[in-house]
Chains A and B, each alone.
Chain A
Amino acid sequence: MFTLGSVLDNDFKSTIEDFSFETEFSTNQLMLPNIEKPFEFAQSIIGLEKDLQENENQLMFHQQKKEERKERALIKGYKGTTTLAFIYEKGTVVAVDSRATSGQYIASQSVQKVVPVNEYMLGTLAGGAADCQFFLAHLGRICNLYELRNNEKISVAAASKLLNNILYSYRNYGLSVGSMICGYDTRGPQLYYIDSDGSRLKNSLFSVGSGSPFAYGVLDAGYRWDLSKEEALDLGRRAICAATFKDSYSGGTVKVYHIDENGWVKISDDDASELWYRYEEKEKKKK
């Protein structure tokens, strides 16, 4: 009796494994229970044991600690950043801020939120810095291997799909990744949004982070497909600047990158607050 089988069926496994060098990374090896959201469950169990050991008079303190732990464990929503990217006629523009916050404290004003995947692809960082940095660097390795094995440059769609599949297998493990894969390949400028929930969306503009609503405002108002290069870079810079002005978790410097058929180039790196007042002066001069 013939039954439908999955693609990774026994007869196909050997051939698939030859080409799917990433499966060794995508099937996660962590031993966690087979329930919904195993990571949260594991965290809660660890907390409980610890509480039982400590003094019962400090119940309030334990509850606070548990809440803090819970808050830390459930870090969703990409706090503390604004990143944006959009494609237009001549290429892709990527603009990011550079502030990292830890609660109310500004941990750093000079974080690199753009990770180069290869010469013509950039990944942006939002959410958990460690998660993003690791997975984007890993994506860079995979793309390099692909080029060596297949003697052709990997497309942005394929690269984003690889990352998507890996992140999907870690779906309920508490990762926090809100990354955009931006690049220029044979199909022209491409932009994909990849999430730790497993979503993968293709569109012409995205903004990710706590300051993204503010950036969207400026971006949506000024975006056209037929922008000139100068206008496009200015739009990206202004949108991040607006977000850093309104959002306290975004700031530092505004970095702008441009990707076209020759690869990616870092265009500018301006201090966010200075930039704001520079724009204000420009407007005053116009009047």
Chain B
Amino acid sequence: MDSLVGFVGKNYVIMAGDTNAGRSIMRLKDDFDKLVPIDSHKILAKSGEIGDGNQFCNLIIRNVSLYRIRNETELTTKSVAHYTRRQLATAIRKNPYSVNLLLGGYDKKDQKGSLYYLDYLGSSKKINYGAQGYAALFVGSILDRFWKEDLDFEDGLELMKKCLREVEKRLIIGTRCFLIKMINSDGISVVEKVMINSEKKNEIEEEN
């Protein structure tokens, strides 16, 4: 039921997640932030069970902080992805965490953004664009068609909104409200909290 979308652009990574948190048919919270910052330049977007997501993301965040405190150095996105995957993989045959993740980060050393797709089974892949949840069905083809290397930020934001518009239009579960975040050399910034209403002839209301 969660929708997460992300892709890499020119020196940035842009990610979006819906803001619903619910239980069976009921929406309990409509301003739930699923894009959790690991440190100043990495976001872990979680989807799946709320409890597992919270606990697992806390585990990763605290351990990355611990590493930084012990070694006075930040981890790269690749290292965090590998560590996260290992935690998921060792847990799968004992006490599985049912969370699917998108890890996006910007590395100052390479001056490049990177995006990783992580699964509850312990699979991990570096991707240029991808999505989790039901959104993946609709958004995959749009990104295949329109994503290019080194998209500018404005083009990237437009592409992201195109994806979210499609999710709102086709997914029968009402997810109108999305939170878009961007990571670049300056760190994580909330781009906007978007409320999409496709009935209004593809107009998008923006609320900050």
Contact = CB atoms under 8 A, between A and B. Distances in A.
Interface stretch (B58-66, B127-135, B178-186): B58-66
A266 B103 CA distance: 47
Nearest to B64: A4
B32 A201 contact: yes
Contacts of A262: none
Contacts of A77: 24
Interface residues of B, number: 25
Contacts of B52: 198
Nearest to B50: A199
B28 A201 contact: yes
A213 B26 contact: yes
Interface in B122-178: none
A197 B44 CA distance: 21
B208 interface: no
A2 interface: yes
Size bracket of the A interface = 20 to 34
A4 B83 contact: yes
B201 interface: no
Interface string A30-42: 0000101000000
B164 to A, nearest CB: 23
A171 B51 contact: yes
Contacts of B59: 6
Interface in B34-86: 49-52, 54-55, 59, 62-63, 66-67, 70-71, 83
Contact of A6 (B49, B63, B70, B93): B63
Interface of B: 21, 23-24, 26, 28-29, 32, 49-52, 54-55, 59, 62-63, 66-67, 70-71, 83, 93-96
Given A34-B95, A199-B49, A201-B32, 18 more contacts: A2-B70, A4-B63, A4-B83, A5-B66, A7-B62, A7-B66, A34-B93, A36-B96, A165-B55, A168-B55, A171-B95, A172-B95, A197-B51, A198-B55, A201-B28, A201-B29, A206-B28, A216-B26
